[in-house]
Amino acid sequence: MKKLEQIYEGKAKKVFRTDDPEQFIVEYKDDATAFNGLKKGTILGKGAINNRMTNLLMQMLEKKGVPTHFVEELSDRETVVKKVTIVPLEVIIRNVSAGHFAERYGVEEGITFDEPTIEFSYKNDDLGDPLINAYHARALKLATREEIDTIVDLAFKVNEALKEFFLTVGIKLVDFKLEFGRTTDGTIILADEISPDTCRLWDKDTNEKLDKDRFRRDLGNVEGAYQEVMRRLMGEQA
Ligand code: UDP
């Protein structure tokens, strides 16, 4: 697999073309941003952790019947993925109130819901990723009705699998963001990443935050929290 020219650089990852027209290579960076790019920093070792964690979780999800873009881990920071065009929706699932949900509706953080919730943001930095509903997404031709139905079903399936998996290592899955892509033949698959950058993860017993909120809110020991999640997921192997 040959890494050819860079086709995209985002906040946390770079994407490269390869000699296979159906596959890309993603490279994870240590750069971190928050509040739509207003806060910038570096989380040492984050790229390697997010790469390995995403791949571990995506392989687990594949076994549970969720199609993902994962192909092969190449190195600490690099992974071969299936080429997709990203559906410009951030799909957010919540099990417990936190972040924007708590702010928007004026409730405290930490309330466990009877059922998980789903919401979409329109992936558009200039607009600040505004909240959008399924009708608006269709009006803007971001996705078809069938695609949105598939995305909703897959997102809840991912939630059940991840919630259970994290709980076995003493972590509460509070909320998370997913992104989906279309393969060349139009199939919707899970893409992007699943990591402490994109999930709120709290220790099951102490509610200690083990995710990017440590960076967003200047809570300290950001690197340690990312390492702790990885250590728990890997068990003895980390
Ligand atoms: N999230 C993300 N990228 C974004 C916005 C949110 O990965 O651009 C994740 C975030 O880490 C959290 C969940 O989605 O786990 C819900 O985030 P929320 O809407 O509460 O916004 P936040 O307070 O994180 O900006």
Ligand 1 atom nearest 36 alpha carbon: 8
Give me the architecture of the 3-82 domain, per CATH. 2-Layer Sandwich (3.30)
- Bridge partners (DSSP) of residue 236 are none
For the CA of 199, the closest atom of ligand 1 is: 15
Mutate to test the pocket of ligand 1, among 175, 197, 209 (most ligand atoms within 8 A of CB): 175
Helix (H) or strand (E) holding 34: strand 31-34
Asked if 13 contacts 198 with a C-beta cutoff of 8 angstroms, the reply is no
Per-residue pLDDT tens over the stretch 16-57 = 999 999 999 999 999 999 998 999 999 999 999 999 999 999
Mean pLDDT, rounded, for 123-136: 96
CATH topology of domain 87-222: D-amino Acid Aminotransferase; Chain A, domain 1 (3.30.470)
Tokens of 223: 């690197």
Residue 154 pLDDT exceeds 60: yes
* DSSP-derived 3-state class of residue 137: helix
What's the whole-model pTM score?
0.96
Better pLDDT: 37 or 164? 164
Q: What is the pLDDT of residue 1?
A: 85
pLDDT band at 115, cuts 50/70/90? Answer: very high
For residue 120, give the nearest of 106, 18, 108, 140 by alpha carbon: 140
Q: Give me the pLDDT at residue 230, please.
A: 98
How does strand 131-132 pair with strand 171-182? unpaired
Cβ atoms within 10 Å of 133's Cβ, excluding its own: 11
CA distance 41 to 215: 8
Residue 236 reports pLDDT greater than 70? no
Residue 166 Cβ inside 6 Å of ligand 1? The answer reads: no
Nearest CA to ligand 1 atom 3: 198
As a whole number, the mean pLDDT across the chain is 97
- 160 falls in which pLDDT band (50, 70, 90)? very high
Atom of ligand 1 nearest to the CA of 35: 25
Q: If you take atom 13 of ligand 1, which residue's CA is the nearest one?
A: 176
Structural domain boundaries in the chain: 3-82, 87-222
Instruction: Assess whether pLDDT exceeds 90 at residue 205.
Output: yes
* CB-CB contact of 51 with 28 (8 Å): yes
Helix (H) or strand (E) segment spanning residue 171:
strand 171-182
pLDDT at 237: 52
Rounded to an integer, what distance in angstroms lies between the CA atom of residue 119 and that of residue 133?
Answer: 7
- Rounded to an integer, the average pLDDT of 140-163 is 98
Q: List the structure tokens of 138.
A: 């269709």
Of all protein residues, the one whose alpha carbon is nearest to atom 19 of ligand 1 is: 100
| 120: its two tokens | 């979409």
